[in-house]
Structure 1
């Protein structure tokens, strides 16, 4: 199984690894910094470099393994087409480079989404039910009948205050059973995770404590937000930058969708 190094340190953009499997245009490594699509956050892109060649990584998906999809032409059967050949084999060493602009945007938006979830729960008792992030915008769905313009202004003002405060962001692992008994499940939303996930990565914002990856013993006693999440994040809310609520719409019966953008 691939060691997912971004879970500990999502600031790293370049890393060395070894190929453990090649599946047509998909490559599995023993370790990676590439984030796969999941949790509303899109996959990373970037390149693999070897002593002989360079390959564009255009998609990353977590199936039975974490697969890096390379930019190669495929035929109707999903196999490499024509005379094109992938000059990569099990045991080859590669250097992976994650696209910095894309990763940074996703990390900023993901932390902003956690802040929005916290504000909606605190101010309107509205639990988050889903989200989708992009490089230039994001949306969040929550349990609420309808937000009016005054509500949106309150939400935006509260978010900007949290960004200006540059609250620390940290993450650590925790046993699922322990988390379900000790943490506020309205915030952690552990119920949205598959039962097969038994160890959780908890992302925490605010309170006394370090920034970035830490031990559970260093967790804050009273954070602004604490959520189960495997995505990438900035280490301080100040890195989110200027945030604007761009609109709302009905996402279904008793559900609202809030859209926002970062500068």
Structure 2
């Protein structure tokens, strides 16, 4: 099992850990601050520095069966198992994804509270993000309403908190599962809850900023009609 340090502290930029497994293209650590790909988010990137001073780029990060696999540009020999390494995140990439992820939660809350619609999909990359949802129309005046509401949330400097609940208690509250399909694995008995103060509260395992003010400026890029009542909004943040 790999301890997920980022779920306790999204601002952890460096960490030390022990190699517990080495495969053809990846290593598994006993703990990590690298957030894996999943839930619509791309993975963190960065570098792993070994005890002998050599280093390898972290190209991708995947989670399988409780282990986090760090895909590297070069793989150490098996004798490195049990050795300590230092991980350093590409912080610019990570922080951009934190900002976009918290923004997506804010958008989800606006869609749910103003229009009664749920998110059906999403994707976050450092370059741009998208959110899919069911709604009868997304004409310019409605896009403007959403944009105005988002700007108010960002300016409101709402704090973002993390807590943990037992699965049964969390699933008894429909407000915590805001996506159209519940993608939380049955094996997860304790759920992580991310709350944007006075805005949103959802079960979520990803990285977030500590306040909505840190999101920066919301930049809507374009909207798409994906079929009857199916809409898509592309967006990013600046600077």
TM bracket, shorter-chain basis: over 0.9
Q: Secondary structure of the residue that 1:192 maps to in structure 2?
A: coil
With over 3 angstroms needed to count, the CA separation of the structure-2 counterparts of 1:188 and 1:141, relative to structure 1, is: closer
With over 3 angstroms needed to count, the CA separation of the structure-2 counterparts of 1:59 and 1:236, relative to structure 1, is: same
Q: Which structure 2 segments of 5+ residues have no match?
A: none
Q: Which residue of 2 aligns with 1:15?
A: 15
Deviations 1:111-151 (A, max 9, x none): 00000001111111111111101102110011212210000
Structure 2 distance, partners of 1:11, 1:189, is 30
Q: How many residues align?
A: 236
Structure 1 distance, partners of 2:81, 2:225, is 49
In 2, are the aligned partners of 1:49 and 1:55 still within 8 Å (CA)?
yes
Deviations 1:191-219 (A, max 9, x none): 2323332221111001xxxxxxxxxxxxx
Q: Secondary structure of the residue that 1:42 maps to in structure 2?
A: coil
What pairs with 1:131-210 in structure 2 (closer than 5 Å)? 131-185=122-176, 187=178, 191-206=182-197
Q: Secondary structure of the residue that 2:205 maps to in structure 1?
A: coil
Structure 2 distance, partners of 1:234, 1:115, is 12
Q: Which structure 1 segments of 5+ residues have no match?
A: 73-79, 207-222
Structure 2 distance, partners of 1:189, 1:255, is 13
What pairs with 1:7-156 in structure 2 (closer than 5 Å)? 7-52=7-52, 53-64=54-65, 65-72=67-74, 86=77, 89-156=80-147
Q: Which residue of 2 aligns with 1:225?
A: 200
With over 3 angstroms needed to count, the CA separation of the structure-2 counterparts of 1:20 and 1:165, relative to structure 1, is: same
In 2, are the aligned partners of 1:168 and 1:205 still within 8 Å (CA)?
yes
In 2, are the aligned partners of 1:47 and 1:54 still within 8 Å (CA)?
yes
Larger Rg: 1
Structure 1 length-normalised TM: 0.85
CA offset at residue 88 of structure 1? 5.8
Q: Which residue of 1 aligns with 2:223?
A: 248
Structure 2 length-normalised TM: 0.93
Give the superposed CA RMSD. 1.7
In 2, are the aligned partners of 1:141 and 1:256 still within 8 Å (CA)?
yes
CA offset at residue 185 of structure 1? 4.9
